[in-house]
Amino acid sequence: PALAERKRMKLTIVGTGYVGLVTGACLAEVGNEVLCLDVDASKVADLRAGIMPIHEPGLEALVSRNQQAGRLRFTTDVDEAVAYATLQMIAVGTPPGENGAADLQHVVAAARQIGRRMADYKIIVDKSTVPVGTADKVGEAIAEELAGRGVQLPYAVVSNPEFLKEGAAVEDFMRPDRIVVGSDDERATQWLRALYQPFQRSHERLVLMDVRSAELTKYAANAMLATRISFMNEMANLAEALQADIEQVRRGIGADPRIGYQFLYPGVGYGGSCFPKDVRALRRTAEAHGVQLRVLEAVEAANDAQKHKLVIKLVQRLGASLRGRCIALWGLAFKPDTDDMREAPSLTVIDGLLDRGARVSAYDPTASKAARKLLGERIHYAASPMAALEGADALLIATEWKEFRSPDFDAIKRTLKRPLIIDGRNLYDPAYLRELGFVYDAIGR
């Protein structure tokens, strides 16, 4: 069919997490008919009832609008999902396996369930972040299932890694910098071109390449971003030792367009569901191929160390034992505007505090529920930023939520037992806070 006829397409999305749900909702928004499949029956039931499984700005309205329009549906029925569309997009999780390599069991299971049921041409799109060579594995899994059924059917496997950021996922998907498509199959390439045509109205954003390069592109992008963070964290540590201010240094280097201001903030280390696991997985891939990634080894080591910074600074102020102390923590999520707690640096901070005998009273605008699943009642979950401070000896800040940016410092000072703030996100002006009578430690200044 001509491109114009194909603008409206049907597609199945396998896996309805951060990536699958956002992708499904955004593709429905531009007029496609989308069926989202998940093995998690309670998630599917919630979504059908209009209950969002995750916090992501703009997502709820988008899902509900497209659900009402009948363009977005949710199912646990694999038969229905496979039969539904030519395009089968795999967006299941690829969590770290035992040795840090990406665990592909969900991806392969998704491929097998397609191979077991398909009755006509399918384009399997790998949207999950998967190591180089995974498209081949997906293809082999489907070939095996088809051979087992004694049938021969055409199919193509395409790599289409996702670059959305949690906290701005809908915006990123709707206005992508680039759409990477790795395909060795011209017919499949045309389908993806048509699928993404509505997202590149101002100019071409499709970056076409071979499958393996596309798979590597995703890891290279995340590894580069993680490198920037670890680099800035190490510069911040050096700035502290030299009595320089990393914030001034940041502005000085960011002005160079080759460096740029974005993603240049020191902090408490990177976390989340992508950078830590993807850096580790890329290192395992390199090892398996006898290639040394010295820079990434250092990036990871620097990050592991950085996650302990807040507690180290606190101990410098209060002494090694925190027994009998209560410490307030603002921010649990690994970054603002998300409730994702996977590998959040706050978890390392909390462990460090609890190990030293402290009690922790934490506040986060959205991540408390997700945190409770990981931490249970080991910490107290406060209902507001101020409530977290009651009876606390110090305030630690782990996430740069907007609502922490201009707090009522008088109220903070009145509520804390001592005016001690250790800020892992450099939210405040050190001179101003000292003027207000705070002991204020930040990162690299």
Q: With binding defined as CB under 6 A, does residue 129 bind ligand NAD?
A: yes
Q: 12, 32, 94, 366: which one contacts ligand NAD (CB under 6 A)?
A: 94
Between residues 109 and 436, which has the closer beta carbon with respect to ligand NAD? 109
The active-site residue out of 26, 36, 274, 326 is 274
Q: How far is the CB of 20 from ligand NAD (least distance, A)?
A: 6
Provide the 10 A C-beta neighbour count for residue 137: 17
Check residue 170 for interaction with ligand NAD (CB under 6 A).
no
Residue 181 CB, nearest approach to ligand NAD (Å): 15
Between 15 and 424, CB nearer to ligand NAD: 15
The tokens describing 410, both together, are: 């008088």
| Contact between 367 and ligand NAD per CB under 6 A | no
How many Å apart are CA 309 and CA 232, to the nearest integer? Answer: 14
| Choice between 46 and 287, CB closer to ligand NAD | 46
From 85-93, 253-261, 381-389, 401-409, give the range in contact with ligand NAD by CB under 6 A: 85-93
Look at residue 409 and give its three-state secondary structure: helix
Task: Compute the distance between CA of residue 35 and CA of residue 27 in angstroms, rounded to an integer.
Answer: 11
Residue 12 near residue 82, CB atoms below 8 Å: yes
The yes or no reply on residue 93 touching ligand NAD (CB under 6 A) is yes
CB of 38 to ligand NAD, least distance (A): 4
**Residue 40 interacting with ligand NAD (CB under 6 A):** yes
Confirm if 349 and 268 have CB atoms less than 8 A apart.
yes
Bridge pairing between strands 155-159 and 10-14: unpaired
Determine the interface stretch with ligand NAD among 89-97, 114-122, 234-242, 256-264 (rule: CB under 6 A): 89-97
Q: Which residue in 29, 33, 56, 166 binds ligand NAD (CB under 6 A)?
A: 166
Q: Least distance from C-beta 211 to ligand NAD, angstroms? A: 16
In the region spanning residues 9 to 28, those forming contacts with ligand NAD, defined by CB under 6 A, are: 14-20
**DSSP reduced 3-state for 263:** coil
* Site for ligand NAD contains 274 (CB under 6 A): yes
CA distances from 206 to 51, 178, 265 (A): 33, 6, 29
Q: How far is CA 276 from CA 163, 301, 354, 431, 443, in A?
A: 15, 11, 23, 34, 21
Active site residue 274: yes
Rounded to an integer, what distance in angstroms lies between the CA atom of residue 388 and that of residue 364?
Answer: 10
How far from each other are the two terminal CA atoms of the chain, in whole angstroms?
A: 60
280 to each of 95, 213, 219, 259, 274, how far by Cα in Å? 11, 19, 10, 25, 10
> Is residue 43 part of the contact set for ligand NAD (CB under 6 A)?
yes
432 within 8 A of 304, measured Cβ to Cβ: no
Torsion of CA 311, 314, 320, 321, to 10 degrees: -90
Closest distance of CB 433 from ligand NAD, Å: 33
The minimum distance between CB 394 and ligand NAD, in angstroms, equals 32
Among 38, 300, 337, 393, binds ligand NAD (CB under 6 A): 38
> Does 173 participate in binding ligand NAD (rule CB under 6 A)?
no
Torsion (CA) 77, 79, 81, 85 in degrees, nearest 10: -160
92 in contact with ligand NAD (CB under 6 A):
yes
Residue selected from 12, 128, 366, 415 as contacting ligand NAD according to rule CB under 6 A: 128
| Least distance from ligand NAD to the Cβ atom of residue 113, Å | 6
Question: How many chain residues bind ligand NAD (CB under 6 A)?
Answer: 26
Measured on CA atoms in the order 60, 61, 64, 66, is the torsion positive or negative? negative
Positions touching ligand NAD (CB under 6 A) are: 14-20, 37-40, 43, 91-94, 106, 109-110, 128-129, 162, 164, 166, 273-274
User: Would you please indicate which residues are annotated as catalytic (active-site) residues?
Assistant: 274
